[in-house]
Amino acid sequence: MSESTTRRDFSRLALAAAAASPLTAAKKPLVPLTPGMKLSLQIPTGAPDDDLIFAKQMGVEWVNIPTSGDQSTLENFVRLKKKVEAAGLKVWNIGSSNVHNMPEVTLNLPGRDAKIEEYKQFLRNLAAAGLTYTTYAHMGNGIWSSERETTRGGASARAFRQETAKGYWANKVFEGPLSHGRRYSKEELWENYTYFIKQVVPVAEEVGIRIGIHPDDPPVPELAGVPRNIFGNFDGYMKALEIANSPNIGVCLCCGTWMEGGKYTGKDVFGAIREFGKMGKLWKIHFRNVSAPIPYFVETFVDNGYTDMYKVMKTLREVDFRGNLIADHVPSMVGDRRTGWAFSIGYIKALMTAVNADYRKP
């Protein structure tokens, strides 16, 4: 392909991404999800060659790629997708930390409207690059963790102790007693979410993007003055989906986060899978395990937590889950950074094989 052809193709994509008007554009039908679970590997920004080879060697067909800063552009999304496909793999989603866990949006801080516009352009860029799904998280003061601890065999893992935890996201640290100088009300959080989602839905529908919303991690009812009343429990999710009122807004169910919540989520992880699956809103699964519910947990190996992961997989099969399933927050193991991922993916593949075989039995 010539350089002029490449520039011409990119210019066409850029114009397509910028030309849409949510006030006038018709809705684009969602691409149907084909039968079966799509096992995916999270790979580093830039899609290194060795990680693509690693995915192929494990028999994974899909990858998920994070981006941040000036990497979150249409040009880079197109480049990444072409690179992955040239390796014989497919991209389920490309994320951007620039428009994920935005305090400006969740808490109505200065710069909110600019962030919403950035998010809408992000959706247009994904669609112009040929992608149809993205995960969104709506936490106002980040993901909260304590100092790392160890799990089985001394493997290093994320931990949460409510008395010592801090919030982290995109090189920002959030601390108590009040991370943003005051206490926010639940009503404020609902107003801010509604303001955001009502602007985002028309764009998602215009370009045919599914948005799976991730649970608050951890789903403690309130952290440093910020309630987690929307995506911290089942009833909050249901109300949020009703407000969105769109086929394009659904759920990225992080099983580990849901397990962290324990009694606070209102339904256990099995009940959540059944309900969201019945609604046709379950599009991505973070398949991981934890040692116990809050106020204290350690993220442990997928086969070493308090939840029966075979039962989780069986429940996904029972609801005919057709979305993307990934390992997540994997404890480190002896070897390089891929060792833990290899263990998790191998275990997940074995569960999928066993459940599919059991499902076919008379």
Rounded to the nearest integer, the mean pLDDT of the chain is: 94
Burial label for 61, CB within 10 Å (0-12, 13-18, 19+), is middle
Is pLDDT of 140 > 70? yes
What number is the average pLDDT over the span 32-53?
A: 97
Q: What is the distance between the terminal CA atoms of the chain, rounded to a whole angstrom? A: 53
Q: Is residue 204 part of a domain?
A: yes
The pLDDT, as a whole number, for residue 19 is 46
What percent of the chain lies above the pLDDT cut of 90?
Answer: 91
In a domain, 16, yes or no: no
Q: What are the C-alpha distances in Å from 243 to residues 135, 184, 223, 254, 354?
A: 18, 20, 24, 22, 38
pLDDT band at 13 (very low <50, low <70, confident <90, very high): low
Strands 210-214, 249-254: parallel, antiparallel or unpaired by DSSP? parallel
Per the DSSP assignment, residues forming a β-bridge with 174 are 167
Flag whether 8 is in a domain: no
pLDDT at residue 22 is higher than 90: no
Residue 232: closest CA among 209, 265, 205, 278: 265
Would residue 311 count as lying in a domain? yes
Which residue did the predictor score with more confidence, 25 or 299? 299
Q: pLDDT tens across 214-261, in order?
A: 999 999 999 999 999 999 999 999 999 999 999 999 999 999 999 999
Q: Which domain holds residue 307?
A: 26-360
Whether 272 is in a domain gets the answer yes
Q: Indicate the helix (H) or strand (E) that contains 25.
A: none
- Inter-residue long-range contacts of 75-80, CB under 8 Å, 24+ positions, other chains counted: 75/10, 75/14, 77/125, 77/126, 77/128, 77/129, 77/131, 78/10, 78/13, 78/128, 78/129, 80/46, 80/47
The span from the CA of 59 to the CA of 57, in Å, is 5
Residue 141's pLDDT band, with cuts at 50, 70 and 90, is very high
Residue 359: per-residue pLDDT: 80
Q: Tell me the mean pLDDT in the region 255-281.
A: 97
Asked whether the predicted pLDDT for residue 276 surpasses 70, the reply is yes
| Strand duo 282-286 + 249-254: pairing | parallel
Separation of alpha carbons 243 and 266, rounded Å: 19
Q: What is the pTM of this model?
A: 0.92
Residue 4: which pLDDT band, with cuts at 50, 70 and 90?
A: very low
Residue at 179 is within a domain: yes
Domains contained in the chain, number: 1
Task: Tell me the average pLDDT across 192-197.
Answer: 98
Q: Who has greater pLDDT, 8 or 185?
A: 185
Could you give the CA distance from residue 22 to residue 105 in angstroms, rounded to a whole number?
A: 20
pLDDT category, 362, cuts 50, 70, 90?
low
What distance lies between CA 208 and its chain's CA centroid?
18
Give domain status of residue 104, yes or no: yes
Most distant CA pair in the chain: distance in Å?
60
Domain at 113, CATH number: 3.20.20.150
Q: Is the pLDDT of residue 52 over 80?
A: yes
Q: Within a domain: residue 18?
A: no
| pLDDT-based confidence at residue 12 (cuts at 50, 70, 90) | low
Of 94, 50, 37, 89, which Cα lies nearest the Cα of 71? 94
